[in-house]
Amino acid sequence: MMATEKDNVIQMIKKLPDNTSLEDIMYHLYAREKIIRGLKDADEGKKVSNEKAKEVIEKWFE
């Protein structure tokens, strides 16, 4: 049986230290979602080269 998203999140939270704040838990959930979404996008071909990413980032600082 494949683990559900809820099961995966519960396991992630259980691995955090007991004194983890709610803010830290929310950050970990946010980061996890962004990573999963990024991997899905990459699998679907929705990605840019490192060179293109560098160009975009450089423009942010102009």
What are the pLDDT digits (tens) for 5-58? Answer: 999 999 999 999 999 999 999 999 999 999 999 999 999 999 888 999 999 999
**Dihedral sign from CA coordinates of 37, 38, 40, 41:** positive
* Of 15 and 2, the one with more pLDDT: 15
User: Does the global pTM surpass 0.75?
Assistant: no
Show the tokens assigned to 29.
Answer: 């959930």
Q: Find how far residue 31's CA is from the centre of its chain.
A: 4
CA dist 61 to 49, 53, 57, Å? Answer: 19, 13, 7
Q: Check residue 48 and give its pLDDT.
A: 87
DSSP string, 21-44: -HHHHHHHHHHHHHHHHHHHHHHT
